[in-house]
Amino acid sequence: MAPAADRQGYWGPTTSTLDWCEENYAVTWYMAEFWNTVSNLIMIIPPIFGAIQSVRDGLEKRYIAAYLALTVVGMGSWCFHMTLKYEMQLLDELPMIYSSCIFVYCMFECFKTKNSVNYHLLFTLVLFSLIVTTVYLKVKEPVFHQVMYGMLVFTLVLRSIYIVTWVYPWLRGLGYTSLGVFLLGFLLWNVDNIFCDSLRNFRKKVPPIVGVTTQFHAWWHILTGLGSYLHILFSIYTRTLYLRYRPKVKFLFGIWPMILIEPLRKH
């Protein structure tokens, strides 16, 4: 974590329980952590287009919610890293729990009849979210949040492995790419935390353009944002295959993956 002594800027003293390794207000007076802030764009813009495409394809509302939840996480993280205020930290961390619960619901309902609702699972996930929120607001311990979030991610990993092992083995590429990208982001998140002092000293000795590449918390945003987006694609691909549609992964501008759904022609 970052040292307590850092530059002051537009948003005043830090009130969040976490302050990351990026030097505060080093780039602009208006953003506490510039690179950690703008790196959230990958979680804000692409999922909006994904939600729009889901509406056009007539997908179930839970997939639209999954995309929009990822956008909310990105917006919350933007506000948190821009201000380093406790209220904005909650706007980042709590939606991480809520969005993951939506992802879990989507993954465990992918082999059900169309437009069905699993009220038991829905109640369980809502209850889990409420308990985590209540406890976290009281204890204000980041490790508690990280463990609860980790439990949800682990559940998604197990479910994904089950699907690519026993149901749709040909989706291993998409499933494992999503997981691998996310885990790489998690690795860099830990590097940023553990070696913060060394990273800060290194940045003082190299040109700024080189130092930017060592902003590993920003890389965490980019990689986990991409990993989460790919997970939604994997979830939609699994669901639409089960519903006997013909999903295809297309690359927007030859770079950004999207899923297009074609209804199965009736003979």
- Binding residues for Zn(2+), as ranges, are 81, 217, 221
The answer to whether 95 and 72 are in contact (CB under 8 A) is yes
Q: Residues forming the annotated binding site for Ca(2+)?
A: 19-20, 22, 24, 33
DSSP category for residue 252: E
Q: Residues forming the annotated binding site?
A: 19-20, 22, 24, 33, 81, 217, 221
Q: What angle do CA 66, 62, 179 make, to 5 degrees?
A: 40
Helix count and strand count (H, E) for the chain: 10, 2
Structure tokens at 70: 């990822």
Beta bridge partners of 36: none
- CA 96 – CA 73 distance, rounded (Å): 6
3 state DSSP class of 261: strand
